[in-house]
Amino acid sequence: MEEIMANSGEDFKLEDWERWMKDWLLDPYTTQLDESQFRVDLFDTTEAFIVEVSTEAFAVQEVLLSKEGQTLSIEIIAADEDRTRSRKVGFPFSLKYHPIELYPQKEYLEIYILKALEKKPTPSVIRFQGSI
């Protein structure tokens, strides 16, 4: 059975997601970034795509998420560092109509990209300030 998710005229097929996940997991550049920025894991649930960001190596002061077409940019300012850690995660579909929710935890952040689409574009920037 072919599952299709409409997104303003764009079709998203389950096979595309599975192929994208396989390519993302096999990309050696992903592992290199894990060492210099922060580890990112992806999960697929019935209601959301979940991006889990490991923050166990540093204390989070601020998080800035921004949607740019098919890319989710994640910027983290650590409390005890003078630099911003950042990663970009590309998806095989536009994020424009997907609501995004951020759930900060003690040693990781959960970023939910909801599968239920909104009729109007959702906010493209989400900011969290404060230590976890």
Which of the four pLDDT bands, split at 50, 70 and 90, describes residue 15?
A: low
Which of the four pLDDT bands, split at 50, 70 and 90, describes residue 62?
A: very high
Q: Does the pLDDT value for residue 12 go beyond 60?
A: no
- Asked if residue 60 lies in contact with residue 109, where contact means CB atoms within 8 angstroms, the answer is yes
- Give me the residues paired with residue 103 across strands: 110
For residue 91, the enclosing domain spans 4-129
CATH number of the structural domain spanning residue 73: 2.60.40.790
The residue among 94 and 131 whose pLDDT is bigger is: 94
- Only one residue has tokens 């003078």, namely 82
pLDDT digits (tens, 9 = 90+) for 63-77: 999 999 999 999 999
Helical residues (DSSP H) of 4-126, grouped into ranges: 14-26, 28-36
Instruction: Name the domain count of the chain.
Output: 1
- Name the average pLDDT for the chain: 80
Give backbone dihedrals phi and psi of 29, rounded to 5 degrees, phi first.
-65, -30
Question: Residue 120: enclosing H or E segment and its boundaries?
Answer: none
pLDDT digits (tens, 9 = 90+) for 108-120: 999 999 999 999 9
pLDDT digits (tens, 9 = 90+) for 25-56: 556 555 445 567 888 888 889 999 999 999 98
Which of the four pLDDT bands, split at 50, 70 and 90, describes residue 2?
A: very low
